[in-house]
Structure 1
Amino acid sequence: MSAAIRVIASQGLGAATATIAQEAGVSNGSLFTYFETKADLMNQLYIELKAEMAAAALDRLPTKSEIRKQGLHMWSNWLRWATSSPEKRRTLAHLGVSDDITPESLQTGHQTMAGMAKFLERSRENGPMRNAPLGFVVALMNAMADATIDFMIRDPANAKKHCKAGFDALWRMLG
């Protein structure tokens, strides 16, 4: 999986399985001992990365705190994961638009993000986005996160400021 992350991050979805196998230090045939097809590898990798990202975001969530503080904690953890794992972020972005990712894998990926979805539902119940479809709100949040992550990476000296400013903008949209 680590080899697939590195190769897909650098070469995109068209990367050959032989390249992934070479990066992993195994023969191309050995790769298919673990995965039936390249699509199977990509689906498993998608689910693994979504689960890792969700776990990072929810790590040590202060559940007794008020919702805004929980949101900032989750946002900061999520963005920290993304900025410290640029290859994983890039690979997940590639996989997220792949036609090879099955509806079942997409559903599993959404389920791993259930904790973040619950936060979004609670945080927007009285805000301007309360009647918007959840998918639309998630898309806006992801766009804001991507912009914030890009600024954090380009300007690491001010990463914490960018992270906080991104969350403040998100909160104004939600709360």
Structure 2
Amino acid sequence: MQNHLVFTVIATDRPGLVERIADIIASLEGNWIESSMARLGGEFAGIVRVGIAAERSDELVELLRKLSDDGIDITLRSDKTGEEAPKGTAAHLDLVSQDHPGILRDITHVLSKQGVSIEHLETSVAAGSMHGEALFKASADLRLPVGLDPADLSDALQETAGDMMADVNLVD
């Protein structure tokens, strides 16, 4: 039987971090299933899901936790044996706005109020047009609850986007 372990990793960015983790997983014949990792402000952060034989799970967790001796912090968040199939409609959200505090709070408030789950989110702030204003950009993969019409969610998002002069595009 296989266990699926989900863990986070954070460390000061340096070459070889992913290799160290991948080496530990492979040495126990574990399977690196999926991950999302990035360098943020000089730190390396990520979340990883692996599959491993149930009898080797504890050994993997122990070896990963020992990485903290080298400044690589691992936090185990799950050890489920399977994965639930997502329910509801998938949608994608793109947002661009002149940067100011509270953009993500306002958009995620609408999503939360509608019962929408964020499956993947990427944000950034980049230089804007020739005036040099900073632009906030967000891209998210969403899971709408069963029964929520994407058009209704789009209307709610557009109302909030209008209040903050943002361009929001929802594609289902």
- Common fold by TM > 0.5: no
Structure (1 or 2) with the larger CA radius of gyration: 2
**Of Structure 1 and Structure 2, which has the larger fraction of its residues in strand?**
2
TM-score (norm 1): 0.24
The structure richer in helix per residue is 1
Structure 2 length normalisation: TM-score? Answer: 0.25
